[in-house]
Amino acid sequence: MKVMPKQLYSVCAVVLLTAVLAGCSDSSSTQSSANPTAASSGISATGFPIVKDKITLKGFSRKDAQLGDYAQMALWKQVEEKTNIHIDWITPAPQDATEKVNLSIASGDLPDFFLKGVLPQADVTKYGSQGILIPLEKLIDSYAPNLKAILDKKPEFKASITSPDGHIYALPRIIDYTLLGVPRFPMLNMTWLSKVGMKTPTTSDELYTMLKAFKDKDPNGSGTADEIPYTAHNLDWAMRGLEGMFGLDRNLDYYVNVDASNKAHIWVTDDKYKQLLDYTHKLYAEGLMDKEIFTQTEQLYFGKLAANRVGFTPLLTAQNAGKFAKDYKGITPLKGPNGDQLWNMRQDTNTGGAKAAITKANKNPEATMRLFDYFYGDEGATLLYMGGQEGDTYTKAADGSLHYKPEILNSTKGFAVDIGARTIWPGGMELGYFTEKQLAPMMEGTTRPADFATVKDYVSKNYYALPLLSKEKQDQITALRTDIDTYIKEMQAKFILGDASLNDWGKYVDTLKKMGIDKLETQYQDALNTMVKK
């Protein structure tokens, strides 16, 4: 019998822990006052502040392009006022975070905690087994009543964040709202489409024809050839925006298709991937794909959207286009040359990476856990998502629903940038438990619910995130992927740029075979088997 996969639309996903809120308190108000450790350490057993005398923690988080200065965020100012915990922040850009984490670990100059997925899931068990991250399960039992209630209600979810050695080293983000399972949609500039006199494309050939029109017919009316027919945050997102037309999925957090019989297959040597590379090369060679896609930063990308230079892109919400937001609309995923019609952008909203992890350097792990647990209760989750108290950034309707103030929701700077000056959720990977109450407000006045409806039938139902693996298994995968991934990326760029010919595809495939791509596929099959009962 098969364990229920992480299906985006399953009843289990939709109702994930909805009954839990009744069993969860706001913050740590249900913490037992009889806990001697809490009392002797100066940590309040219940309520706030968490500590009587102010303490300072050193936090390490990534600063996504949409985010402002952490020290100036209303979120952390109000958290400090409530908890009596001050945080000194280290906040590298996402592209620099991995290097900074590695330097921190190598030097021994550790922060008290890591936040927002700066530790990849592949490293969680490794750093835990090395003692760099501390086990959290006892801290959860004693100092995290909100999270504990959730895990008690859903033991299978607890299992998903427990490493093979039996410890929990990282805390999750728990999303109880189906729409958040899709992080990007195929967003088309409908104003441009109208100006070039075309209909919404339905196939890869029609997409090509439309992109040509965007390039040649000055749809933004600037009088210069500054239009970018197709772009994305970076090359990987750009490829994912096209892969589904060729039936290529992203399962188990890799280049993997999983069929109905739960067979995992790495597709980077397949003919369909070869077709994708040929199609992408054609777009790039003819100026239909962003020429800066290989060096694109999020700042550049959002700037292009806000300057009305983008025609088609995989994007979460059109609000990032600022005053041009209303020009964009999600379209039905396109059908490829072989009849494939897949949208491979969905995410496991509840695991993956360290949304929060405490290091061995932390002298106040109990207080830190209570701080984290605040975001698994309604009050903390609302503060994190709304970026302030009621009246500051949002209003509450008579029915209890929350609504961002119009000047924030419709900001000309872009909604994510405006709210990102106040809180950390733009860019994703925030910790906490979030429901429709916190998440629906950001979709108000947007096409996002409709965009979701256009893609939901084209997202693979048989979806799994890579589980936490033993250090031995993870080391085996890492050893294989180190050279394989470098070669895949290197050749992907060469094929797209035309620096390598697809006539040499056989040599490329042979090289990957020699590097152990088949062994890697076996490792992914083994990982999948741990989640599937034969």
Whether the predicted pLDDT of 13 surpasses 90? no
Whether the predicted pLDDT of 258 surpasses 90? yes
Determine the pLDDT at residue 31.
Answer: 36
In this prediction, residues 137-144 reach a mean pLDDT of 96
pLDDT for 490-511, tens place per residue?
999 999 999 999 999 999 999 9
Q: 225 vs 214, 217, 219, 229, 402, CA distance in Å?
A: 10, 9, 10, 11, 43
Give 32's pLDDT tier (boundaries 50, 70, 90): very low
Give 41's pLDDT tier (boundaries 50, 70, 90): low
Q: 11-176+351-442: which CATH topology? A: D-Maltodextrin-Binding Protein; domain 2 (3.40.190)
Give 147's pLDDT tier (boundaries 50, 70, 90): very high
Q: Cβ(116)–Cβ(355) under 8 Å?
A: yes
Q: Kindly compute the dihedral angle of the four CA atoms of residues 335, 448, 17, 61, in this order, to the nearest 10 degrees.
A: 100
Q: Quick one: angle between helices 517-529 and 471-497, nearest 10?
A: 130
Extents of the domains making up the chain: 11-176+351-442, 184-345+469-534
How far apart are alpha carbons 145 and 141 in whole angstroms? Answer: 7
Nearest to 421 by CA among 429, 411, 406: 411
Whether the predicted pLDDT of 109 surpasses 50? yes
How far apart are alpha carbons 281 and 231 in whole angstroms? Answer: 14
In this prediction, residues 147-165 reach a mean pLDDT of 87
DSSP string, 372-391: HHGGGSHHHHHHHHHSSSBT
Q: Does domain 184-345+469-534 have CATH number 3.40.50.300?
A: no
Angle at 354 (CA atoms; ends 485, 67), nearest 5 degrees: 90
Q: Cβ(83)–Cβ(50) under 8 Å?
A: yes
Q: Where are the beta strands (DSSP E) in 100-235?
A: 113-115, 173-176, 185-189, 228-230
32: tokens are: 């037992």
Whether the predicted pLDDT of 29 surpasses 70? no
Q: How far is CA 407 from the centre of its chain?
A: 26
Q: 507 vs 70, 275, 523, CA distance in Å?
A: 49, 16, 24
Strand partners, 432: 173
Give 34's pLDDT tier (boundaries 50, 70, 90): very low
Whether the predicted pLDDT of 209 surpasses 60? yes
- φ, ψ (nearest 5 deg) of residue 114: -110, 145
How far apart are alpha carbons 68 and 89 in whole angstroms? Answer: 12
Give the single-character DSSP code of 326: G
Determine the pLDDT at residue 28.
Answer: 37
Determine the pLDDT at residue 351.
Answer: 55
Determine the pLDDT at residue 349.
Answer: 62
DSSP string, 26-52: STTTTS-TT-HHHHHHTB-SSSS-SBS
* Of the listed ranges 234-238, 345-349, 425-429, the one predicted with least confidence: 345-349
Percent of the chain with pLDDT over 90: 73
In this prediction, residues 195-204 reach a mean pLDDT of 98
222: tokens are: 């600037």
Phi-psi region of 81 (alpha: psi -120 to 50; beta: other; left: phi over 0): alpha
Q: Quick one: angle between helices 204-216 and 271-285, nearest 10?
A: 10
Query: Do 11-176+351-442 and 184-345+469-534 agree at the fold level?
Result: yes
Contacts of 222 (CB under 8 A, 6+ apart): 308
CB-based burial of residue 155 (10 Å sphere; 0-12 exposed, 13-18 middle, 19+ buried)? exposed
Whether the predicted pLDDT of 25 surpasses 60? no
How far apart are alpha carbons 187 and 454 in whole angstroms? Answer: 11
The dihedral of CA 504, 507, 512, 518: what is its sign? positive
Give 54's pLDDT tier (boundaries 50, 70, 90): very high
How far apart are alpha carbons 362 and 212 in whole angstroms? Answer: 56
Determine the pLDDT at residue 234.
Answer: 95
Give the predicted TM-score (pTM) of the model: 0.73
